[in-house]
Structure formats: C-alpha cells, structure tokens
Structure 1
Amino acid sequence: MTGSHFDDLTTPRPTTIDKRPAEHKDPARLSSTTDQRLLDSRGPADWVHSDAWRVQRIQAEFVEGFSVLAEIPRAVTVFGSARTAPDHPDYATGMALGAALARAGYAVITGGGPGIMEAANRGCSEAGGMSVGLGIELPFEQGLNPWVDLGVGFRYFFARKTMFVKYAQAFVCLPGGFGTLDELFEALVLVQTGKVTRFPVVLLGSAYWGGLVEWLKTSALEHGVISPKDVDLIHVVDDVEEVVAIVEQRFHELVEK
C-alpha cells in the first residue's frame, strides 16, 4: 500500500519522541492527523477498506506503551492547560505539585506538552522524581517539553488515555480547557462504573473548579442524571500538600487491603 492515506500503517515510530519545545502552528496549513484519518468515513473505497489494517498500528501503540511504562514507580497523572504561560500563578502551582509528588515518591505523568503539563514535569524532574510525558500527534502541538525524562509518542488518543489510567494511582486536574475536561470526566466515568480500581480524582483550585462542581451538585443532581455519591468522587482542594495527603491516604488504603 502506498500513498499518504496508508503511510501511518507502516511507518516506524520511535519509543521516545522529539523533545524540542512545542511550537504552535496554523492547523489549516498542516496535513491531517492519524486519529482524523481513522475517524473520517469519507473518501474512496480503498481508504474505507484499509481501516482493518490499522489494527496493527493500534496494537503496536498499546504494546509499546505497556513495555515502556511497565516498570515506572507508583505515579500520579496531572492534567491542565497547554496554554498556561510560565509567568502565570497556575504554572507555579503545577511546579509545586510536581515537586511535592516527587518528594512523596511518585512519578508524575502528563501529556508531555507545554503549560501546566510542562510545569508538573519540571517540578517533578527538578525534585529528583521520574517525569513522564505521553505525547500525542496534534496539528498545533509538536514535541515533548524539555522536562520529560521518559517520553512516549502516540498517534491515537484512546491508546494514550489507557496509559494515563493504567499507570496512575490518582488523577489531579489543574485549570484547563476541553482536553482537561475530557480527561476529567472520562476518569470519573471509569471510577463511577468500577472499570478501574477506585482512586482519587482531585481538582486543584476551587476558584476555577467551584462553578463546575456546583453545577453538578445542583443542575445535574436535581435532574436525577447523577447520584450524590457520584459527586463525592471529586475532591476540590486549594493546597498542594492536601493533594499529596489525599493521594497518600488512598494509596495506603489499597496497600493494606
């Protein structure tokens, strides 16, 4: 098979990906991503029939992720905006969180990009912890931030999301946009339905997250689409040390079982 539609089925991809600082480009001027081509049902018949061959590429991403991450220490996944500037207070909070988790003996896993992700990776790395970045092929975000010690590149979001869940003892969300919200609610659904061992989902920054949690407690709860115990799955805190305390408490509860 040849042609741009099939290149991603056969092109080798290294375990670690480019760690140059992320650069932002105009998506309209870039070629499509692998996820986009997989999910796009338009096109000639030969493209439609090629989807089955993509299973090999998807399988390779899972095998690679499992192999690379299998021996990392206990870890916490940190989510947050890629748009947060280094001089923003949230960046400083991300660094403090990464450092505190490292001192407590946890690796820090992020999406490997700029902003909050970079801050958490940086804080962890500078404190002597293992800083992990799980990158994703996007038209506007290239390369891993320079504070990632162990990096894995993904073409498919769903393979990457599995790694975020499988190797974490907790999720911590700092202020972020659609990507952070996506990860947050996917984590909550997995915990709510028992698909993963119950572990903390922590929102750091009540000023940012308070409105969302209030909406869940009123509108969503009053409509009967969630239960009171679902709201209790979320911890909203303002202190980095409180995050670590929640993570540690749950970790030791699981160890003692």
Structure 2
Amino acid sequence: MVSISVNNNGEDAEHPRERQRGPVTLRRSRLVEPTTTDQRLLDARGPTDWVHTDPWRVLRIQAEFVEGFGALAEVPRAVTVFGSARTKRDHPEYELGRKIGGALADAGFAAITGGGPGAMEAVNRGASEAGGLSIGLGIELPFEQGLNPWVDLGVNFRYFFTRKTMFVKYAQAFICLPGGFGTLDELFEALTLVQTKKVTKFPVVLFGRSYWEGLYRWIEETVQGEGKVGADDMRLLHLTDDVDDAVEVVRDAYRAWEDAH
C-alpha cells in the first residue's frame, strides 16, 4: 500500500494546490507571490530591473521583428553583401565594393549590407550613387559604429539573430567580400540555411580569389574529402574576381527562381 502524505491544507504531494499566471503554473513554494502582475506594472515606485528580464527581452525581440518586417516588406529584389568594416577608403577592395553596389543597382537589385563602414559603406555608396536602393541593417555594438551616410533605408537592431533573419529573408543571393569573423559567421550561416533548405536555394558568391581561395580549397579538399559535405554542397559557392560575373550569377539564380514560381 502506497502512503501519500496530506498537509493541513488538504493537499497531498501528487495533488498540490496551484495557481495560474497566464500560461505559467505555480505550485508549492512558488504559489505565493508578494505582488500581482498589475501591481508591478502600475507601481512606478518599484525597481526597474524588470526591463532587463528575459520575458521583457522577448517583447523587445518581437518588436525588432515587427519593425524589420515592416520596414523591408516592400523592398524589391535584393542582394545581401557582406564584408569587413575595417576596409579603408583608399584600399582597392573599397572601390570593388562600390562597383558591386553600382552593378547591382544597374541590374535592378537593391543592395543590403550591415550598414557600417568599410566594405559595407562602399557597397551602399555604389548602389546609392547609381540610383539604386541602398539598405543598411545596423547592429548595436560596444564600440559605436552607426549607419554610414550612403544608406537610404536603415534599420538598427539590438540582436544579431533578428538582423540575420532580415539579411536572409529579403535577399535573392549573397555576395561575400573579404572580411573577418563577422563575415565568416554570415557566410557559413547562409550556406547552412541553403544546404538544409531552410531558405530557397540561391547562390553564395565569394568575391576575391586571392582572399577566399585558401578557404575554398580547404573545404573542397578536407571537408568534402572527409565526407563532411557533398559535391552538391560545393556547388553552392561561386568563386570570382569579376563584378559582371558575380552579378550574372545573381541574375541567373533570380531567373531560375522566377521560372519556378
């Protein structure tokens, strides 16, 4: 015979008293709270730590998605271009970024970047100067960066994952200029999303053979060589030094997408 202890309140271990707080169930020591939700909301004299709690962050995240979707919903076909914030204006890669931005604008594509300086600024500048739509998706960082002056439509984000969603959702292709950890992060996340079919298959262009070829060969010889990726996965990447070639890859992919839809 199983013995179940019963306390003075008539509850037992398997059937404790409980209270609902929205979708949350409170039992035992969590049953009694010193204040109500309304009281905490309306009492302006209380502490402000609540704005830093996880439930409040969820609302901020939701607001970021709403703002991003609202700002970008009517953006025409677009290409996201990644690249280093450290590229100097007198560096040849800066001029290449301007040419890529201008070529995308001429081909009827909006240019989306992280909105910062360096390669991002170059692409935004080229697109804006060519009369195209220049978009910058900024991010809050410990060191103040801000949107570069050639962004025509800008959105600033607190959270990287919200911003990354916008990079993917509104692009028909990715072009990666030489960059650091941030560019590598964006490159491999994009490849993973395409490989796993989380997004419609579209090209990822590595622009700059001398910079990217070592990485490309390592993936081909080591990663693919050991069976960690397949031959089809390698075809997701296109390595080039030519602006017209990069834009033609984007055009071909967009035409294929249009034919499929």
The answer on 1:107 being equivalent to 2:144 is no
3-state secondary structure, aligned to 2:224: helix
CA shift at 1:143, angstroms? 1.0
RMSD over equivalenced CA pairs, Å: 1.2
Cα shift readout 1:152-209 (whole Å, capped 9, x = no counterpart): 0100000000000000000000000000000000000000000000011001111100
Aligned-pair identity in percent equals 65
Taking the aligned partners of 1:123 and 1:129, their CA distance within structure 2 comes to: 9
Paired AA for residue 56 in structure 1: L
Query: How many Å apart are 1:2 and its aligned residue?
Result: 4.5
Asked if the contact 1:96–1:240 (Cα under 8 Å) also holds between the matched residues in 2, the reply is: yes
Q: Please say if residues 113 and 141 of structure 1, whose CA atoms lie closer than 8 Å, have aligned partners that are also in contact.
A: no
The letter for the 1-side match of 2:173 is A
Query: Which letter does structure 1 place at the counterpart of 2:131?
Result: G
Indicate which of 208, 213, 218 corresponds to 1:215: 218
The aligned length equals 215
Using CA pairs below 8 Å that are at least 6 residues apart, which structure has the higher relative contact order?
A: 1
TM-aligned CA distance change 1:139 to 1:232, over 3 Å: same
Match of 2:255 among 243, 252, 257: 252
Give secondary structure in 2 for the equivalent of 1:59: helix
1:84-233 maps to which residues of 2 (within 5 A)? 84-233=87-236
With the length of structure 2 as denominator, give the TM-score of the two structures: 0.80
Whole-Å separation in 2 of the counterparts to 1:231 and 1:255: 23
Consecutive unaligned residues in structure 1, runs of 5 or more:
10-46
CA distance in 1, matches of 2:224, 2:259: 33
Spell out, residue by residue over 1:48-94, the C-alpha distance to the aligned partner (whole angstroms, 9 max, x if none): xx212211000000000000000111100000000000000000000
Change (3 A) 1:92 1:52: same
| Matched-pair contact (CA < 8 Å) for 1:80–1:175 | yes
Comparing 52-61 with 188-197, greater Cα deviation is found at 52-61
Instruction: Name segments (4+ residues, structure 1) moved above 4 Å.
Output: none
CA contact (8 A) 1:112 1:148 kept: yes
5+ residue gaps in structure 2?
A: 1-45
Mapping of residues 37-48 of structure 1, within 5 Å: none
Q: C-alpha distance in 1, partners of 2:229/2:115? A: 32
Q: For residue 140 of structure 1, what is the amino acid of its counterpart?
A: F
**Aligned residue in 2 for 1:32:** none
Query: Could you tell me the TM-score, scaled by structure 1's length?
Result: 0.82
